[in-house]
Amino acid sequence: MALEQLDGEDFMLYRSFQIDVGIFRASSVDQDGNCSHEDEAVMLDSLAIAQAAHNSGGLVICQAKRLVPRGTINPKQVTVPGCLIDLVVEAPDPERQHRMTDGTFLDPVYISSASETELPRAPYSTRLAIGRRAIRFLHQGDVVNIGTGIPGDSVGPALSEAGLSDDVTLTVESGVYGGVPAGGVDFGITAHPRAIISHASQFDFYNGGGLDATFMGAGQIDEQGNVNVSRLGGRVIGAGGFIDITQSARLVCFCFMLAGKNQKFVPQVEHLTFSADQARKRHQQVRYVTEKAVFGLAPAGLELLEIAPGLDVTKLLAEVPFKISVS
């Protein structure tokens, strides 16, 4: 990593590195090594991994759900060309070793567009209440990203419940467009998606400023409005795509619960993953949505915008270890 100056501003330059081995999986692989992903809920970085490892002179390995004869895969369905692959390994027991998700071996709901069957209504929960409150900041036609945790579990079901799924386009960083996102360990896929593109192409879109809004979780929030999701309890867990996504979205909405075992509001975040100062400079709209109240990013810090019915403002603010202005 090096520090470079562009247009009078400092930027970090990350240099490329050698890739010795690239491993990915595919649904079908023909005798020439051409791959397709028809049974996969997402394509992720399969092509990018194969290209990067191949161009580095490394070994490219593909795990195949099944082997098929030459010419079986339509050229437009080939996701990774065979010339990039060195070794193909067929899964001996696909039901155990090549599952679509952690929870299912193969469910057509994750690879087929919307059907006439209405999706089941999500049961009420505190997490769903947060999702209901958060989607009020969206506008018709918005293109939206959702992160893992409360956003992934609640925003999609809240939109579906309100009959608004067709009014906005939900996306997940894995490359999925539309549908109702799966939560928990199956985060990254959706029921009845409209489109599935590669992970790398999705981030090209995000980094290019295509997002109207993103909904993210939060580990810590401090007096300035900074957010930490990357170092919690002294353990570095990393930021994933969080920084790329939150830097370019016009609206950044953090969804979290105040009532938990760990204090969310802290005098200073342990790790700076989202900079409130940079958000102010970019004129981003930033909201912090909880089960008890909604806060906004103001010029001097956080501002209380609304409170849940039946709660006392004074008692709520007493739970926060720093001063918050009241709208």
Is the distance from CB of 254 to CB of 288 less than 8 angstroms? yes
Beta-carbon count within 10 A of 106 CB? 17
Catalytic residue (choose from 90, 95, 118, 173): 173
173 is an active site residue: yes
Helix 126-134 / helix 150-161 crossing angle, nearest 10 deg: 70
* Token pair recorded at residue 272: 């700076």
Strand duo 301-307 + 293-298: pairing: antiparallel
* Strand (E) or helix (H) holding 12: strand 9-13
Distance (Å, whole) CA 256 – CA 293: 10
Q: Considering only CA atoms, which of 72, 69, 87 is closest in space to residue 31?
A: 69
- Nearest-5° Cα angle at 132, 126 to 134: 105
> Would you please indicate which residues are annotated as catalytic (active-site) residues?
173
